[in-house]
Amino acid sequence: QLYVGVNPPTFVGLSQLLRYDVSATGLANKAVIYQSLGIIDDFELVQGGVVLAEYLGNRIVHLSESGQVLHTASFSAPSSVHLISDPVRGQRELLVTEAGANRASLVQTDWNLAPRQ
């Protein structure tokens, strides 16, 4: 499968996270997983879903594979989100960059995130 974030050409309109099936003949079965006015800047595939950064929405969002919002957390114009493993603590954390606050943060959650296999 191929996941694609699509934003409107201006900051007016819906951003979408799309999923396509990929085969030798091309892309098929387009599905809109999520849409928002918050401008999707980045996303990370995780086991059973996606975590994405909504730049204008000032939040990160954890979605199921079907697009159901499972969790959210507030940030200042988040521009990226990545799941990382902390070998010292043996935990998984989110690395979130915030354009609005000019910082990067390691965030521990109780969202039970795991890398996509």
Give the list of residues 6+ apart from residue 74 with CB closer than 8 angstroms, or none. 58, 59
CA 27 to chain centre: 22
Give per-residue pLDDT as tens, 23-42. 999 999 999 999 999 899 99
Predicted structure pTM score: 0.89
pLDDT of 61 reads 97
Give the list of residues 6+ apart from residue 48 with CB closer than 8 angstroms, or none. 64, 65
Give per-residue pLDDT as tens, 46-58. 999 999 999 999 9
pLDDT of 90 reads 75
Mean pLDDT across 69-96: 92
pLDDT of 89 reads 75
